Amino acid sequence: MESHLENILIFATNIKTENDKQKIINSLDEHSEIHQWNIDQGDIDCVLRVVSSTLSQEHIIQLINQHQFECVALE
């Protein structure tokens, strides 16, 4: 699948461990408007990248915040 750069949303999070990641995995995997996502837990900002042509930064932030994690858009 091709991903276009304008469809990639990038966030700093505090999702640091594999256990943390397990808490969000179902919400992101099962969301019909998220085409792909990954989190770089080796990065100091635990960078979350989400590929979606329809979702806003605010929607992703709310989705992550529901799981009691911090999420801030990176520009």
The per-residue pLDDT for 75 is 78
| Phi, psi (rounded to 5 degrees) for 14 | -115, 35
**Domain ranges in the chain?**
5-73
**Which CATH number among 3.10.20.740, 3.40.920.10, 3.40.30.10, 3.30.70.100 corresponds to the domain 5-73?**
3.30.70.100
pLDDT in 10s for each residue of the chain, 75 residues: 454 556 999 999 999 999 999 999 999 999 999 999 999 999 999 999 999 999 999 999 999 999 999 999 997
